[in-house]
Amino acid sequence: MDTKPIRFLSDHDIEGYAQLLWGTLVSSGWLDLACLELATFYEVGLPINSNDREVWRFAQANEMILITNNRNMKDDTSLERTLRNENQPHSLPVLTIGNVEYLAYLNYREKCVDALVEISLYLENHLGRGRIYIP
């Protein structure tokens, strides 16, 4: 049986942290059980200077879950305003890492991995939620 992967997009400003998180996910053996993929802006051809709205729309159009740091609500194209204006019941969630610097600690990374996997396995329960803070 062919399983469609659940795809994640790392926000440009946390690519190194996302790779660290993904390494913990791999070493924990989750990829043996779940079909998950991580991509960067470069890999998907998204300009690094894309605004929040462009990034969210790209992720939605390409069926990707955005993993981000805490984006702001500074202007009309901010992630928070985009979610308020455009999020639909079928929209994929945005995973926001509560404290990205804490990903340097294995215990915190493992908690984030657990949350990411739980959301992936039960994705239908998380559609339309907008932003989900992990861990």
Instruction: Quick: pLDDT tens for 90-112.
Output: 999 999 999 999 999 999 999 99
Please state, in angstroms and rounded to a whole number, the distance separating the CA atoms of residues 56 and 65: 9
Residue 55 contacts by C-beta under 8 Å, 6 or more apart in sequence?
Answer: 9, 11, 46, 66, 79
**Residue 94 to residue 127: CA distance in whole angstroms:** 10
Contact assessment for residue 56 and residue 104, using Cβ atoms and an 8 Å cutoff: no
Whether the per-residue pLDDT at 72 is higher than 60: the answer is yes
Q: Phi and psi of 36, rounded to 5°? A: -125, 145
The pTM score is 0.94
Q: Which two tokens stand for residue 84?
A: 């308020």
